[in-house]
DNA sequence: AATTGGCATAAAAAGCTTTTCATTACTATT
DNA sequence: AATAGTAATGAAAAGCTTTTTATGCCAATT
């Protein structure tokens, strides 16, 4: 069933049917009625592929994420915001997950190009530099989310991971903690991994505190990994940090679980600081003291920014946005 | 830049370029080299739209979800599994969220049809009957997830919400609880809402326990809604249930939070049972006693099932799959 | 030497729309 | 009454592939 069949059934030309469907020009009352009758009867839907091919516009946005488990990432909140903004503007979403594989990301970019998406929302984790050669003369508008590129000038929307982590660490220091354990993420995640670690380190430097390598551990976003990292930090009963900065809330939850199992009360025996302010954070026992990040704004802004980038009539384009953050003092940290 | 340009640059015909790209027929060494050189130099990528139009196959699966907030739903785990299976089979994902609006769902189905997706994964919440007329003679293969249709014979992959909820309630009864509060979901969610409520009711009937309307409350998946529901259940200090069955873990977490604030210890003063077994459940304080649902299997099976449905060479098609569940006895329920 | 067969390649059709350009029929104006 | 103008409609091109059919050439066979 195609537009030609509809035209035949209604006894008009293809052009007339197209005009009725798209309301793009005047059609006589008589013809319109006949066409609409056929349309309704057959349930005909125009083939978007043909239209998109002709107009060179797909109304589709590629969303490239990089997670091992979606539910463990604060990113699903941003995605939620993105779907809302894009749907409101009649755009569809093509979702792909690279799972932290650089070559997979490359292949996804190629797919997006072949599929002729109108724009790309790129939740970058640190492989952008590997894609430099390709991205350099890439024609499709891209907004990087979560990480700014140091190699290519590309629009981005980010959390201020560095300063937020610095703020978190400084807060712990101000509370009297001078021996702070760290549960980080692999450095190849340049935002959640590298930047947050940098923030932790700078806070120490500026307060003339040494960084103890034994206090540096690493997780992978999951609760379990936070648990395991905490196990290492608490291994030696005679040499334990007085506070721990977990760079994601889920890892903080794992860490607290571990502390509990070892008979340590949070925050009485040890303080734990999170990052992200996931929904459960406020309802955990104890309620997590953490950095609240505006994931919703990040999703919304990224989508809006991309939309404006794609709009050729729009002269004043915003190309960078740094989302606000705030420290949520709740119940998992106490003064030493 | 299109295939014609490549052909001109390489001094060969369009067909030859196509043959080189798709490796679909023999090409002389000489011609192949020239074409490949141009391909590399220009970074040309074939236009999928044209190919898909010609072949009437898009290698795209429409995934229709129905959530208010993705991160509050156990569904993101299923989506994770789906992306893996589909990518492994070279399919792309078009994601759309109806946000519990029946007409929005209808419009998404139309979009999917226009976009010519090869198949649809439909996280149904209860509107299928409204779409009966349309779905009846829908040509694209669909797998319903989370809900089986009582109106159309459609392949499905579900959790056994009804029996799982019955099991959960029976467990509470066996533990000596005869006055069990219920935090449900709107009935229009026919799986999480209706089925789980039915299970709760049947367990009561079979044990000759009355159902007290004052014990029936309703949430919306969110932690906050569980908190508010619990507030109602605990309103009257002289007339409180001894246990509460929250039909999602996040609502259970909200409920426990509320109980704590009112000075009630879980499970010592009141028991709370969850449903889903979200990642945090095991690490919550107290660890949630809950129904573990195999969200990963649901996503995987749904994708596999759809793939087999789309494969015309595959004669033996599985069309129904009911995922396993199990009761996780942890720390939020104790015998009365 | 002439015909056949096979191989590499080119040409053209098909897939379905939108849009421009051309045509027809009719109304209005001089 | 003839011409200009307008409104509705139809024909055809363009958008880019893949795939089928056709062509040309050379080697091999009779």
Q: What is the 3-state secondary structure (H, E, C) of B54-71?
A: HHCCCCEEEEEECCCCHH
Query: Is the CB of residue A281 less than 8 Å away from at least one CB of chain B?
Result: no
What is the rounded CA–CA span in Å between residue B331 and residue A9? 68
Mean pLDDT across chain A: 94
Contact across the interface for A116 and B47, Cβ inside 8 Å: yes
Contact across the interface for B43 and A137, Cβ inside 8 Å: yes
Q: What are the structure tokens assigned to A175, written together?
A: 């509370």
Instruction: Name the closest residue on chain A to residue B286, using Cα atoms.
Output: A285
So what's the pLDDT on residue B148? Answer: 86
Share of chain A above pLDDT 90, in %: 85
Choose the mutation target among A51, A106, A267, A279 for the interface with B, i.e. most B CBs under 10 Å. A279
Specify whether the CB–CB gap between A45 and B114 falls below 8 A.
yes
- CATH number attached to the domain at A56-159+295-323: 3.40.50.2300
State mean pLDDT over A187-198: 93
- Give the residues across from A276 on adjacent strands: A292
Contacts of A285 in chain B (CB under 8 A): 260, 284-285
What is the rounded CA–CA span in Å between residue A318 and residue A16? 42
| CATH topology identical between A3-46 and A56-159+295-323 | no
Contact across the interface for B48 and A95, Cβ inside 8 Å: no
Nearest to B152 by CA among B169, B164, B174, B137: B137
Contact across the interface for A77 and B83, Cβ inside 8 Å: no
Contact across the interface for A53 and B72, Cβ inside 8 Å: no
Query: Is the CB of residue B109 less than 8 Å away from at least one CB of chain A?
Result: no
So what's the pLDDT on residue A321? Answer: 96
Q: Which of A 316-335 lie inside 8 A of B, CB atoms?
A: none
Alpha-carbon distance B199 to nearest alpha carbon in chain A (angstroms) = 27
Tally Cβ neighbours within 10 Å of residue A288.
Answer: 29
Residue B1 has pLDDT above 90, yes or no: no
What is the rounded CA–CA span in Å between residue A180 and residue A200? 9
B252 pLDDT band, cuts 50/70/90, is very high
A221 pLDDT band, cuts 50/70/90, is very high
Q: Give the angle B86-B92-B93 at the CA atoms, nearest 5°.
A: 90
In sign, the C-alpha dihedral spanning B113, B116, B118, B124 is negative
Instruction: Write down the architecture of domain A161-293 according to CATH.
Output: 3-Layer(aba) Sandwich (3.40)
Contact across the interface for A96 and B96, Cβ inside 8 Å: no
Question: What is the full DSSP assignment across B109-140?
Answer: HHHHHHTT-SEEEEE--S-GGGGHHHHHT--S
Contacts of A227 in chain B (CB under 8 A): 283
What is the rounded CA–CA span in Å between residue B66 and residue B84? 20
Q: Is the CB of B22 under 7 A from strand D?
A: yes
What is the rounded CA–CA span in Å between residue A163 and residue A175? 18
What is the rounded CA–CA span in Å between residue B310 and residue B247? 35
DSSP B182: E
What is the rounded CA–CA span in Å between residue B76 and residue A96? 14
Maximum average pLDDT range among A127-141, A257-271, B62-76: A257-271
- CATH number attached to the domain at A3-46: 1.10.260.40
What is the rounded CA–CA span in Å between residue B58 and residue A47? 12
Residue A306 has pLDDT above 90, yes or no: yes
What is the rounded CA–CA span in Å between residue A70 and residue A311? 31
Query: Is the CB of residue A278 less than 8 Å away from at least one CB of chain B?
Result: yes
pTM: 0.94
What is the rounded CA–CA span in Å between residue B164 and residue B138? 32
So what's the pLDDT on residue A133? Answer: 83
Q: Residue A17: how many CA atoms within 13 Å on its side-chain side?
A: 21
Size of interface A-B (CB pairs under 8 A): 137
Contact across the interface for A283 and B92, Cβ inside 8 Å: no
Contacts of A41 in chain B (CB under 8 A): none
Residue A151 has pLDDT above 90, yes or no: no
Contact across the interface for B53 and A47, Cβ inside 8 Å: yes
What is the rounded CA–CA span in Å between residue B304 and residue B168? 30
Query: Is the CB of residue B46 less than 8 Å away from at least one CB of chain A?
Result: yes
Query: Is the CB of residue A46 less than 8 Å away from at least one CB of chain B?
Result: yes
Q: What are the structure tokens assigned to B17, written together?
A: 């370029």
Residue B193 has pLDDT above 90, yes or no: yes
Q: Give the CATH fold of the B59-159+295-324 domain.
A: Rossmann fold (3.40.50)
Mean pLDDT across chain B: 94
Residue A128 has pLDDT above 80, yes or no: no
What is the rounded CA–CA span in Å between residue A175 and residue B13? 74
Q: Give the angle A156-A162-A168 at the CA atoms, nearest 5°.
A: 135
Contacts of A257 in chain B (CB under 8 A): 283
Contacts of A84 in chain B (CB under 8 A): 97
Query: Is the CB of residue A110 less than 8 Å away from at least one CB of chain B?
Result: yes
Cis peptide leading into B267, omega within 30 of 0? yes
- Rounded, the Å distance between the CA of A4 and C1' of C23 is 21
Domain ranges of chain A: 3-46, 56-159+295-323, 161-293
């Amino acid at each position: 069933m195609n537009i030609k069949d509809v035209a035949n059934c209604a006894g008009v030309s293809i052009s007339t049917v197209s005009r009725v469907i798209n309301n793009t020009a005047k059609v006589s009352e008589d013809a319109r009625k006949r066409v609409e009758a056929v349309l309704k009867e057959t349930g005909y839907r125009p083939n978007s592929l043909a239209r998109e091919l002709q107009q060179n516009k797909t109304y589709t946005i590629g969303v490239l994420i990089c997670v091992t488990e979606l539910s463990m990432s604060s990113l699903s909140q941003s995605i939620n915001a993105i779907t809302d903004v894009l749907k409101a503007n009649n755009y569809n979403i093509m979702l792909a997950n690279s799972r932290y594989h650089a070559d997979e990301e490359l292949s996804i970019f190629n797919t997006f190009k072949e599929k002729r998406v109108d724009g790309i929302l790129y939740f970058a984790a640190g492989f952008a530099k590997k894609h430099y050669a390709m991205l350099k003369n890439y024609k499709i508008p891209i907004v990087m989310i979560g990480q700014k590129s140091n190699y290519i000038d590309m629009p981005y929307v980010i959390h201020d991971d560095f300063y937020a982590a610095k703020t978190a660490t400084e807060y712990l220091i101000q509370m009297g903690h001078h021996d702070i354990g760290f549960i980080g993420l692999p450095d190849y995640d340049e935002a959640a991994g590298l930047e947050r670690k940098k923030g932790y380190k700078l806070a120490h430097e500026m307060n003339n505190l040494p960084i103890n390598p034994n206090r540096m551990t690493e997780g992978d976003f999951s609760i379990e990994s936070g648990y395991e990292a905490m196990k290492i930090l608490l291994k030696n009963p005679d040499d334990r940090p007085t506070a721990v900065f977990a760079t994601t809330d889920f890892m903080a939850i794992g860490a607290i679980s571990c502390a509990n199992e070892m008979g340590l009360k949070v925050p009485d025996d040890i303080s734990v600081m999170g990052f992200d302010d996931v929904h459960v954070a406020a309802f955990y026992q104890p309620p997590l003291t953490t950095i609240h990040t505006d994931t919703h704004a990040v999703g919304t802004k990224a989508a809006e920014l991309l939309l404006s980038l794609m709009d050729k009539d729009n002269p004043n384009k915003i190309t960078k946005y740094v989302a606000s953050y705030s420290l949520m003092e709740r119940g998992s940290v106490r003064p030493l």
